[in-house]
Structure 1
Amino acid sequence: MANIIITGSSRGIGYQMAQLFANNGHQVLALSRNSDPIASLKNPNIFSFPFDISAEEDLQKVEDFISANWKQVDVLINNAGKLANKPFLETTTADFEVVYKVNVFGVASITKLVIPKMPKNGHVVTISSMGGVQGSLKFAGLSAYSSSKGAVVTLTELWAEEFKETGPSFNVLALGAVQTEMLEEAFPGYKAPITALEMAEYIQNFALTGHKMYNGKLLQVSNSTP
């Protein structure tokens, strides 16, 4: 059974993934600022504590947990995301910083922390968005969010090259419309064709097996585009 770290686990896809992995016997460290939803599950295979991916002291808590409880980390799923939805001319530098601290700098920080604890066949899966894919349909108001999701695509390619001899593997999934709270914030009233649970099931399987087929790749997981 694998040791799995999932960020952004308090709701939506991350919340569903934590349960899927744990119910299949894997050990899960489920991280989010609000740990109450995960803690209320009382699942013996899920560990959690309040975690802000942009806070250095919280990254140290992850380091301490791994050292005390696990010999290695098999899978890291960078699922945490921050959304800003406002016209570009109203988007401040501070707005960009808040989004990038979570979606880019936070992803880089926790990945840097975990890589030395992963085996050669480990797998880092970063969740991006179709909005971050070059040439895809773009939407007004998402300058900070979509550009940050584009940044982690390039980071994934760079990491795969840098660690190609030692592992782990790195891949990024650009998700289309999934019925989550974040989608409702970005596109109020829009109804997605895919549920959070359905996408969580796909990502769970990919996280455990995708490294055998892919490294440094962007996979577009979408059958529609808002």
Structure 2
Amino acid sequence: MSKNIIITGTSRGIGFELVQLFAKQGHQVLALSRNEQPIQNLNLKEVTSFSFDLADEKNYKKVEDFITKNWKQVDVLINNAGALLNKPFSEISMQDFENIYRTNVFGVAELTRVVLPFMVKPSHVVTISSMGGVQGSMKFPGLAAYSSSKAAVITLTELLAEEYKESGISFNVLALGAVQTEMLEEAFPGYQAPITALEMAEYIFDFALNGNKYYNGKMLQVSNSTP
């Protein structure tokens, strides 16, 4: 049965692959990214795409209006978009920290808050985090803002699962290890990851549709490597 899926961060990497996987299976997709061109170039009839910046408060009304007018209901929200900063801690300004948190934490919280009224049992909110945000995992210099922001959404997910437990909506977070994407190349130039963006997207695709039968309020480590 066709579902309504919202995915952020769809211009490249995992998000770009996810849109195509859902569309191929006949699901309706709203693909959100600051750069909507790569998705529009695919010309998929199941997919709607418009420019959306998680850091811009005015953008959220566009999403709300689209759902109200076209869908009425959302089955899956995948908070995949993320901003990266690789800089020595001594050089990270308050503004730098704020920029990363605005996308990776505040944006995730706000989009989830906007979409939730359109979700009913058994809808699923999946947030993409990182192994760098997992307590006790290996940490890397330069990623203080990024990794701490990824830790924040893990706790946020646990809290939302508790707050909405009567609703039948599930909230889970996937802490990804190294995946061969443009973002990984920016963080660790030259590092070769054991998993491609498509392979990881296939796992997330399946988890988004079925994981809520087994998990709620859980953080799953999806990693076979360090980092």
**Cα RMSD, aligned residues only:** 0.5
TM-score in terms of structure 1 length:
0.99
In structure 2, the residue matched to 1:114 is 115
Superposed, 1:170-181 pairs within 5 Å as 170-181=171-182
Superposed, 1:4-83 pairs within 5 Å as 4-83=5-84
In structure 2, C-alpha distance between the alignment counterparts of 1:179 and 1:10, rounded to whole Å: 15
In structure 1, the residue matched to 2:92 is 91
Matched residue count: 226
Unaligned runs of 5+ in 1: none
Query: Residue type matched to 2:173 in 1?
Result: V
SS in 1 for 2:18: helix
In structure 2, the residue matched to 1:2 is 3
In structure 2, C-alpha distance between the alignment counterparts of 1:57 and 1:88, rounded to whole Å: 31
Shift of 1:207: 0.1
Unaligned runs of 5+ in 2: none
Stretches of 4+ aligned residues off by more than 2 angstroms:
none
Shift of 1:54: 1.4
Shift of 1:24: 0.5
Shift of 1:175: 0.1
Shift of 1:167: 2.8
In structure 1, the residue matched to 2:130 is 129
In structure 2, C-alpha distance between the alignment counterparts of 1:220 and 1:140, rounded to whole Å: 21
TM-score in terms of structure 2 length:
0.99
Query: Residue type matched to 1:223 in 2?
Result: N
SS in 1 for 2:166: coil
In structure 2, C-alpha distance between the alignment counterparts of 1:171 and 1:128, rounded to whole Å: 10
Cα offsets for 1:121-164 (capped at 9, x unmatched):
00000000000000000000000000000000000000000000
1:191 equivalenced with 2:170 (yes/no): no
